[in-house]
Amino acid sequence: MTNNIEQQIRTACAAAVKELYNADMEAASIAVERTNKDQIGDYTVVVFPLLRVSKKKPEETANDLGAYLQANVPQVSGFSVIKGFLNLSLTDSFWIETLGSALHNHEYGKGTPTGQKITVEYCGPNTNKPLHLGHIRNMLLGYSVASILEFAGNEVSKVNIYNDRGIAICKSMLAWQQFGNGETPESSGIKGDHLVGKYYVVFDKKYKEQVEQLKAEGLTEDEAKKKAPIQLEVQAMLLKWEAGDAETIALWKQMNDWVYAGFQVTFDKMGVDFDRDYFESETYLLGRDLVLEGLASGVFFKKEDGSIWVDLTDKGLDQKVLLRSDGTSVYLTQDLGTADLRYDHYHMDRNVYVVADEQNYHFKVLQLTLEKLGKPYAAGIYHLSYGLVELPHGRMKSREGNVVDADDLIREMVAAAKAQTLELGKLENPESEEAEELFRTIGMGALKYFMLRVDPKKKMLFNPEESIDLQGQTGPFVQYSYARIQSIKTKVGDIKIELPANYTLSALEKEVLIELYQYPAIIQESARNFDPSVVASYTYNLAKTFNKFYVDHSIANAETPEAKHLRLGLADLTAKVLAGAFKLLGIDVPERM
RNA sequence: GGUCGCGUAGCUCAGCUGGAUAGAGCAUCUGCCUUCUAAGCAGACGGUCAUGGGUUCGAAUCCCGUCGCGAUCACCA
């Protein structure tokens, strides 16, 4: 299934135009698409664009072209013309050969090496609180986009960036120091990231109390916010951190280590991983050096107060600060440093950032600023900008307390999968470790598919109360289709599939074949657009098509040995493609369910 | 206000590099388990593709305007 029949048809059409009408037409400009399912045929050529050169009516043109293709393209067995649409039928032997070669290919769908090196940065958590629903979408997108890019033929590295410094983590540190009584993950049994998050909330609570107190004493809101004792203390702590105060650094390290241990548990449950970690505490100084270099070379400029800026007004953007007047770094400074360090590490052609679309402006600025610095990798930056996950009551914002915790959600999904599975009552040993594994597979499959099936750039709605369906267009639907095929295979036993040389395909058999044939193109499309939803939709379509075939045709007890072998081959390839595609989405498939 | 994005069935989403009567799932209703797993299959119901114009043989898809929703325009990250 490597040489693409659609491409062959296009090329032949171009040749036909040359021969029949003595005109030149680019093969790529000819519209070849799959025939509508209520028409006879496999592929359709839209002939309207050719009328300009044929100077004939649509039907005549289509007939000319159809006759030419039938005579010159061996795979074309016949054609029919409806209005300006030329519907081509391909020979059954073409489809069967195509199935045979795909079955022999152990990595069917894998792209040829592109030589491109790509880094994918995703997750990017702050180290002052646990992961939430937004991180889940981010992690799923990042992990699957990386997998898809790699399968499409690129050399891919996954990286994470920890926002491990700044005022936020100091808030947790301070609150723990003052109110924690030495509580640790071990002493409390609380997961490290949740423990640190707990003190972040404590800080906020105390801060608000103090502000109210000061307001009661007659201060204005703004004054109260500035003068709250705990606020002054946290600012002092940040300065001590920046100055490298040993005690502060030790506390910072301890609390961050708790968070990393906690995150790792969540990463494992999510099934995501990283080839390398970056820490802003290690890159913000590199960024500062870059800014100073830029200032020295005249790319940036300094204002009277000492702050350093980049002027992007020539690009339709604003002036942006790169270093504060006190010489400290801003968000952008760190990202400059991280980008530069990453290029040292990888020399990548593309640097993909999986970050929510609220930061579109930031990434434009980052890219243009690196461009101004003359960095060769600036052009390779791609911001995979995804929409926020909204809850029924509106947008998710942690400071409004309307947060869905990642660990909670994972637990609930697995519990929902368990309840549903037990209700169906198909399990032999509901208490076994194998059963628990199955609940995890189904629950995570439902969650991951739910989030990956929508176009990344669109915001999406998540309704935790209604939970997530396990029927219909869902992960478990695809998993179930896979499990049924595995069941047939164990029933039939280990027989060598020999595809028949002469066989007349049924309509449903052919539908499955055509669907399977799309897979390599789907991978390329998904990679080109950095869009896992392309693969997700495809798996559903394939499973759906296969299920139709499955209920209508007997496989193990097929009417003839030829039919049995062909259908086993079809089932086998379908299972391989479903499992392979799901792997790219980070979703497991169960052998039984 | 400037910039960017979005608006398709009651709900959640496909389709958007222009092509045939706009597709799924959920929900509601109706059938199908003595033959490979019914987490399935078949069917019914449901749409002025926000709106007005334009380009085209042809527009949900491209262009312009309008309305609605969101993000962003911090010496926050």
Pair A200, A258: CB distance under 8 Å: no
pLDDT value, residue A140: 97
Q: How many CB atoms lie within 10 A of CB A181?
A: 7
For residue A476, give the nucleotide whose C1' atom is nearest its CA.
B39
Residue A139 CA to residue A428 CA, distance in Å, equals: 34
Cβ of A483 near strand B (under 7 Å)? The reply is yes
- The identity of residue A230, as a single letter, is I
pLDDT band per the 50, 70, 90 thresholds, residue A576: very high
Average pLDDT over residues A299-304: 94
Q: Which nucleotides along chain B are within 7 A of a protein C-beta?
A: 2-7, 11-16, 19-21, 24-27, 35-42, 57-58, 70-77
Q: What is the ipTM of this complex?
A: 0.96
Q: Is the pLDDT of residue A396 over 80?
A: no
Cβ of A480 near strand B (under 7 Å)? The reply is yes
Q: Is the pLDDT of residue A392 over 80?
A: no
pLDDT value, residue A321: 95
Q: Is the pLDDT of residue A401 over 60?
A: no
> Strand B and chain A: which residues 450-479 have CB closer than 7 Å?
453-455, 457-461, 469-474, 476-477
Please give the mean pLDDT across all residues of chain A.
93
Cβ of A540 near strand B (under 7 Å)? The reply is yes
Tokens of A593: 């369910």
pLDDT digits (tens, 9 = 90+) for A3-16: 589 999 999 999 99
pLDDT digits (tens, 9 = 90+) for A519-570: 999 999 999 999 999 999 999 999 999 999 999 999 999 999 999 999 999 9
Average pLDDT over residues A413-429: 91
Pair A587, A140: CB distance under 8 Å: no
Average pLDDT over residues A298-305: 94
What is the CA A301 to C1' B60 distance in angstroms?
A: 48
Residue A513 CA to residue A100 CA, distance in Å, equals: 11
A504 strand-pairing partners:
none
Cβ of A87 near strand B (under 7 Å)? The reply is yes
Average pLDDT over residues A12-27: 92
Average pLDDT over residues A148-169: 96
Residue A403 CA to residue A476 CA, distance in Å, equals: 26
Report how far Cα A388 is from the mean position of its chain's Cα atoms.
14
A323 strand-pairing partners:
A308, A329
Provide the terminal-to-terminal Cα distance of chain A, rounded to the nearest Å: 31
- Going by C-alpha positions, the residue among A251, A258, A264 that lies closest to residue A194 is A258
Residue A563 CA to residue A494 CA, distance in Å, equals: 17
Cβ of A86 near strand B (under 7 Å)? The reply is no
CA distances to A66, A76, A235, A297, A552 from A87, rounded to whole Å, are: 8, 10, 72, 63, 26
Q: Is the pLDDT of residue A393 over 70?
A: no
Tokens of A544: 């759906």
> Strand B and chain A: which residues 20-59 have CB closer than 7 Å?
31, 35-36, 38-39, 41, 44, 46, 48-49
A163 strand-pairing partners:
A126
Tokens of A351: 């640097």
Q: Running DSSP on this structure, what letter comes out for residue A451?
A: H
pLDDT value, residue A1: 39
Average pLDDT over residues A21-31: 89
Q: Is the pLDDT of residue A160 over 80?
A: yes
Cβ of A548 near strand B (under 7 Å)? The reply is yes
pLDDT value, residue A398: 45
Q: How many CB atoms lie within 10 A of CB A577?
A: 24
pLDDT digits (tens, 9 = 90+) for A91-104: 999 999 999 999 99
Q: Which residues are CB-contacts of A38 (< 8 A; sequence separation ≥ 6)? A: none
Residue A349 CA to residue A526 CA, distance in Å, equals: 18
pLDDT band per the 50, 70, 90 thresholds, residue A284: very high
Report how far Cα A259 is from the mean position of its chain's Cα atoms.
25
Q: Is the pLDDT of residue A579 over 80?
A: yes
The residue with tokens 């003190």 is: A199
Total H helices, total E strands in chain A: 21, 15
Average pLDDT over residues A250-257: 97
* Share above pLDDT 70 across residues of chain A, in percent, rounded to a whole number: 97
CA-based diameter of chain A, in Å? 94
The residue with tokens 């649409």 is: A85
pLDDT digits (tens, 9 = 90+) for A428-476: 888 899 999 999 999 999 999 999 999 999 999 887 766 678 999 999 9
